[in-house]
Amino acid sequence: MKVDASGQKVISVDIHEGMSPEAREYGRQFTYSEISEEIWRASQKPSLAYFLALGFCIGGVLLGVGTFAYMVIDGMGVVGFTPPIFWVHFIVNFVFWVGIAHSGTLISAVLHLFRSKWRRGIFRIAEAMTVFAVLTAGLFPLIHIGRQWYFYWLVPYPNRGMWVNFKSALMWDFVAVLTYLTVSVMFFYIGMIPDLATFRDKAKGIRKFIYSLLSLGWKGTDKEWRHYNRSYMFFAAFATPLVISVHSVVSLDFASGVIPGWQSTIFPPYFVAGAIFSGMAMVVTIVTPLRKLMKLEKFITDWHYDHMGKIILVTGLIVTYSYVVEFVLALFSGNIYEYQQFVYRAVGHYSGPFWGMVICNCVVPLFMISKKVRTNVWLMFVLSIFVNIGMWLERFNIIMISLSHDFLPYAFDVYRMKWPEWAMTFAAFCWFFMWFLLFAKFFPVISVAETKELVPKPFRKGGEHHG
Amino acid sequence: MGKVVLGKFTYVDDVEEAIDELLKAGYNKKDIQFISSFPIEDIIDKLGGTDSPVKFPVLVGGLTGFSAAIALVLVTSLAYVLPVGGKPVVAWIPYVIVMFEMTVLLGSIFNLLGVILLSRLPDIFFFLGWRAYLPSFSDDKFGIAVYTDKIDEVVSIFKKNNVEEVREYEV
């Protein structure tokens, strides 16, 4: 507490310090009790729509399990392998889901370091998305290895004559994705401890017991907060370069290869921007029905959509720029293999997915230049689905078209996905949303503690005190 | 066995003034605990500053990860030499990625362990219900717990600052 020249205690603080008018307006609409109560209520008895959605997702996962079993029994030939095109849809899905995973850490870590206030309404959802998206991505290397019972050969240790080679991009990928998953889970968990304590104090019976265990006896003392805040900051500082490194490494799986359309130095920044672009679009896709289903409209407002729209717009422009650079470099490189690859993308067998990608990733985000569009929740939802489709097509185009049309015409072939690929792609989405729905039922989907920080502090002497 | 006096407050300025008076009356910062469902920097600062020694485990973890990565890439390269296209057997540039990832991995794991241990979690005594705590502190109330034998003095400071409820615990 400050003391003025006359010795009088000065309690009031500058209400404009560190907070935008939108953030202050957002904070003013709540009381502390209301925040705890509303977020707790959202995890209570769910609606029929929730159970229908969960049942649908579980059905999709079972379809995927059945298809996978069929593939293991009958062999990898049941999927559309056409030499030289192998593993296409598995790798497409892997890269797509790893990309989706990135936005969670971006919102959580990068925006935390920038002291951004709007992240508070959605960062928990984005973090959960990260964890579940990495879990989904992680399934695909296991699926495509063929002999799943040797999955542990992926682990870098010398086994049966195979020796780990840390100069290989695939080894970097393994180490990077494993690190990303571990750090994301820890970051997710530590951020949730204070909110789990709030749930513990409201719950009864078995739920109280489980929340008590998970919250580790957190009380919210000044000492706990001191260590917690500093630790959270370190997590954010670690996670920020990690976001950039992981998707750069994923892109190097391709860029360090010699296939036309892959060997390009623009891949790391292009992939990172694409990952944030698709991840942010997926946050919008998830948040929109979730806020309706759980009646959280008050917590996730136009303010959040406006900012998410801006990030999608900026990263969409970077992705568009990358497409243009990639094309121009190929057309003017003097390398006939690169040249034919990019011409083939635009006018060949797969021109449909290619132009679909261009429309979804380059044209659709431009609508978000308008604030009216960015603050129209359902319109943003529709646009975000287009972006998701566009980003899946982007992975498909990079991987599939390059493999199907490399150097020698005799090796060119046309690949068509068979039903097991479609089934497993569909199952991956169901798997991801199933975990999400289960998470939303049992855990705080919005940070109670961080939302409370936006509420003006109650002072007996009156005035508005944020910060 | 010691005693703890726990006060429940609604207003932040009441809490600040009560803590100021407790400090003025000679109570040690270590014996005063402020409890809240979200961090209030001003009060945390009063009771010992916002810095935390959690940085040390993070540093140790990061260095351990970095060193372990160097050892891992060196041993795997030198134990079974795979000369490819005249490229160096020990190539540092591709190894930077592994070193970075392991620095982050171990640094983060030590960070988590550090915050848990420094915060003295998991708190077994809390599970047993032996801690001075009220569920309303995770809702809309603030708490001050003082470890002392001078119960009357603390209660009078609390009352002067509009405490809503006072409880006494044996710990």
Q: How confident is the model at residue B164 (pLDDT cuts 50, 70, 90)?
A: very high
Residues B113, B138 share a domain: no
Residues B114, B133 share a domain: no
Distance between CA atoms of residues A361 and A320, nearest Å: 7
Tens digits of residue pLDDT in B49-81: 778 899 999 999 999 999 999 999 998 888 888
Q: Do B97 and A452 touch (CB under 8 A)?
A: no
Flag whether residue B47 sits within 8 Å of chain A, measured between CB atoms.
yes
Name residue B153's amino acid. E
Of residues A158, A176, A197, nearest to B138 (C-beta)? A197
Give the list of residues 6+ apart from residue A261 with CB closer than 8 angstroms, or none. Answer: A330, A338, A341, A342, A345, A398, A401, A402
Q: How confident is the model at residue A144 (pLDDT cuts 50, 70, 90)?
A: confident
Q: Which residues of chain B are within 8 Å of residue A461 when distances are taken between CB atoms?
A: 13
- Please tell me the predicted confidence (pLDDT) of residue A247: 85
Residues B63, B41 share a domain: no
Q: Do B50 and A249 touch (CB under 8 A)?
A: no
Pair A286, A127: CB distance under 8 Å: no
- Please tell me the predicted confidence (pLDDT) of residue A11: 42
Pair A444, A387: CB distance under 8 Å: no
Distance between CA atoms of residues B24 and B28, nearest Å: 10
Find, in chain A, the residue whose alpha carbon is nearest to that of B110: A231
Residues B42, B79 share a domain: no
Please state the rounded mean pLDDT for residues A171-189.
90
Q: Is the pLDDT of residue A15 over 50?
A: no
Domain end residue (candidates: B118, B134, B159): B118
Distance between CA atoms of residues A253 and A366, nearest Å: 30
Q: Which residues of chain B are within 8 Å of residue A32 when distances are taken between CB atoms?
A: 37, 139-140
Q: Which residues of chain A are within 8 Å of residue B101 when distances are taken between CB atoms?
A: 172, 175-176, 179, 242, 245
- Please tell me the predicted confidence (pLDDT) of residue A1: 47
Q: Do B54 and A230 touch (CB under 8 A)?
A: yes
Q: Do A234 and B80 touch (CB under 8 A)?
A: no
Q: Is B9 helix (H, G, I), strand (E, B) or coil?
A: strand
Residues B139, B88 share a domain: no
Q: Is the pLDDT of residue B21 over 90?
A: yes
Angstroms from A245 CA to nearest CA on chain B = 8
- Please tell me the predicted confidence (pLDDT) of residue A153: 76
| Other CB atoms within 10 Å distance of the CB of residue A358 | 18
Q: Which residues of chain A are within 8 Å of residue B133 when distances are taken between CB atoms?
A: 219
- The full DSSP string for A198-239 is HHHHH--HHHHHHHHHHHTT---BHHHHHHHHHHHHHHHHHH
Please state the rounded mean pLDDT for residues A342-370.
95
Of residues A227, A450, A453, nearest to B118 (C-beta)? A227
Q: Is the pLDDT of residue A13 over 50?
A: no
Strand order from edge to edge, sheet including B165-170: B32-35, B142-147, B3-9, B165-170
φ/ψ (deg, to 5) at B163? -65, 145
Query: How does the average pLDDT of chain B come out, rounded?
Result: 91
Q: Which of A158-162, A449-453, B36-40 has the lowest mean pLDDT?
A: A158-162
Please count the residues of chain A. 467
Burial of A252 (0-12, 13-18, 19+ CB in 10 A): buried
Please state the rounded mean pLDDT for residues A305-333.
94
Element (H, E) at B147: strand B142-147
Flag whether residue B49 sits within 8 Å of chain A, measured between CB atoms.
yes
Q: Is the pLDDT of residue A182 over 50?
A: yes
Tens digits of residue pLDDT in B78-120: 888 878 778 888 888 889 999 999 999 999 999 999 999 999 9
Distance between CA atoms of residues A434 and A50, nearest Å: 11
Helix axes of A222-255 and A267-293: crossing angle, nearest 10 degrees = 130
Number of domains chain B contains: 2
Q: Do A242 and B104 touch (CB under 8 A)?
A: yes
- Please tell me the predicted confidence (pLDDT) of residue B48: 82
Mutation target for A interface from B15, B33, B97: give the one with most A CBs within 10 A. B97
Cα-Cα-Cα-Cα torsion A268, A273, A274, A276, nearest 10 degrees, comes to: 130
Mutation target for B interface from A166, A212, A245: give the one with most B CBs within 10 A. A166
Q: Do B121 and A179 touch (CB under 8 A)?
A: no
Q: Is the pLDDT of residue A293 over 60?
A: yes
Distance between CA atoms of residues B88 and A406, nearest Å: 29
Which has more confidence, A121 or A213?
A213
> What are the domain boundaries of chain A?
48-166+237-442
> A232: phi > 0 → left, psi -120 to 50 → alpha, else beta; which?
alpha
Q: Is the pLDDT of residue A7 over 60?
A: no
Flag whether residue B109 sits within 8 Å of chain A, measured between CB atoms.
yes
Helix axes of A419-442 and A48-74: crossing angle, nearest 10 degrees = 140
Residues within 8 A of B (CB atoms), A 20-79 only: 31-33, 36-37
| Other CB atoms within 10 Å distance of the CB of residue B168 | 12
Tens digits of residue pLDDT in A392-427: 999 999 998 998 888 888 888 888 888 998 999 999
In the numeric block, the tokens 């989405």 are attached to A429
Flag whether residue A188 sits within 8 Å of chain B, measured between CB atoms.
no
Residues B16, B64 share a domain: no
Q: Do B101 and A176 touch (CB under 8 A)?
A: yes
Domain end residue (candidates: B82, B99, B118): B118
Q: A–B: how many Cβ contacts below 8 A?
A: 208
Distance between CA atoms of residues A223 and B45, nearest Å: 10
Kindly state the tokens that stand for B131: 């801690």
Q: Do A230 and B55 touch (CB under 8 A)?
A: yes
What are residue A319's DSSP bridge partners? none
Q: Do A227 and B114 touch (CB under 8 A)?
A: yes
Pair A173, A253: CB distance under 8 Å: yes
Q: How confident is the model at residue A156 (pLDDT cuts 50, 70, 90)?
A: low
Tens digits of residue pLDDT in A243-259: 889 889 989 988 988 88
Q: Is the pLDDT of residue A233 over 50?
A: yes
Q: Is the pLDDT of residue A191 over 80?
A: yes
Flag whether residue A446 sits within 8 Å of chain B, measured between CB atoms.
no
Query: How does the average pLDDT of chain A come out, rounded?
Result: 88
In the numeric block, the tokens 């920044």 are attached to A269
Q: Which residues form the domain of B78?
A: 55-118
Report CA-CA distances (Å) from A115 to A119, A125, B39: 9, 18, 15
Name residue A71's amino acid. M
Flag whether residue A12 sits within 8 Å of chain B, measured between CB atoms.
no
- Please tell me the predicted confidence (pLDDT) of residue A16: 41
Flag whether residue A228 sits within 8 Å of chain B, measured between CB atoms.
yes
- Please tell me the predicted confidence (pLDDT) of residue B101: 95
Q: Do B104 and A227 touch (CB under 8 A)?
A: no
Q: Do B44 and A452 touch (CB under 8 A)?
A: no
Tens digits of residue pLDDT in A83-118: 777 778 888 999 899 889 877 887 788 888 988 888
Residues B59, B45 share a domain: no
Name residue A205's amino acid. G
Kindly state the tokens that stand for A265: 């130095």
> A217: phi > 0 → left, psi -120 to 50 → alpha, else beta; which?
left
Distance between CA atoms of residues A88 and A219, nearest Å: 50
Residues B106, B61 share a domain: yes
Q: Identify which of A225, A244, A235 has the alpha carbon closest to the alpha carbon of residue A187.
A: A235
- Please tell me the predicted confidence (pLDDT) of residue A467: 53
Q: What CATH number did the domain enclosing B16 receive? A: 3.30.70.120
